[in-house]
Structure 1
């Protein structure tokens, strides 16, 4: 009988198996290749989903990589889009220059994103920037404008490196810049824990922590001084733009950040996920994926 508890249990089991199968296929079909930034840094690029679908370029945050977006890359709902990720300079499998200038100059991060868009041939992609990735997107908009993109989504986005917008964790950031290995790794673990109000499962946290350990120490020491052209970038954006914050964000102050974004650009839309910290795309993945799909469809005119 359809209403019998055993029937419902069996139906849920079949759905779980189907979703797991779709996730496995999505990850198995990932393409990986590289592009070169104008200053010679090698950028590791990955893509999955439908090559003919609207393009979405994901830009991860500090200490992340493409692994940050696994809840999106494995989502059956998002498989109809062309899902493009890349590892930021100093992160993951991308190049890790040693000079501080390679990280403090915001234009270099912008040029990286432009190089990824060019290498993939993505037409009018939606840019999705998490935390530091939002600042990278802002610098891209300042340098290249919005003519070649369909829209942008900021998630826990760094609008400006301003004390009023960034929650103070001086010991954590000092430890991340430390040359003492124990202090450095302990600070990375503390930073990663601060990314979540609802902590991920142990296996996911450990994978993300190992991922964080790949990030260049030189980058971690220099990136707090990265230039962000907020007025010329976010302020000049005319395409659709959505800002998503977690109400319980322990790293970026949501209310002042949204207010500053609205001051720069009254066109931006904002939404707050009540149950999330700094990573709504993982903490409330199903809601985030629905919101992202709706945004991409609207930006693509579907």
Structure 2
């Protein structure tokens, strides 16, 4: 329970700092010649902004064809070598997870909550006098829920709902004394930890995905309202467009990553597979 309160404390501090920066950023983006009257009747419509911005960007949807001859030369690896290589990677992943779990959790929590609250606050301050359509509101709401879910996922990582009761510190000490491959002595425990490590990786992917989506929305808003650093926002819009072309895709894929991370981290998936 102490871990939960500590994580919540870090999340609250990060959120306060992020919100403070989020209030400052719109002032830096504001043009000196900008009038507040511009935003009163300004409408921010997700589909309309995409149509308008695509007129100024080059469509890079073409795919480059790769020569398949070069791939045929690297197919001499045997199944045994591939299995051994995968096993080594899995052992390294579990050992790194055991050794740096606390540091990884702290970095994920503080970094994500700080940047999410910064950009969410920035978006709110900029658009509070504008009409914002349902699609943009849904994306911002989804990111708010993602921010709230981070401490919960990290708590479940340290306190799984189900699965084996594992003394991670003792396992780490044994691995450091006897070598990393001693982790393989108990296959069930090793598999449980491997699932958790994979869950953390998926969690980072989920958080990165939501950050990219939020940056895309911010670029749309700033381009529409003609804020400063237009070239930078235009570049961000182009680079993040593939992740946020559709609100349905964004929320569906984000929810899929969130649920997948929950199943891995909480120990539920490990229990279902081993039972």
Pairwise same-fold verdict (TM > 0.5): no
TM-score norm. by structure 1 comes to 0.21
Q: Which protein shows a greater Rg?
A: 2
TM-score norm. by structure 2 comes to 0.22
Give the helix-richer structure, 1 or 2: 2
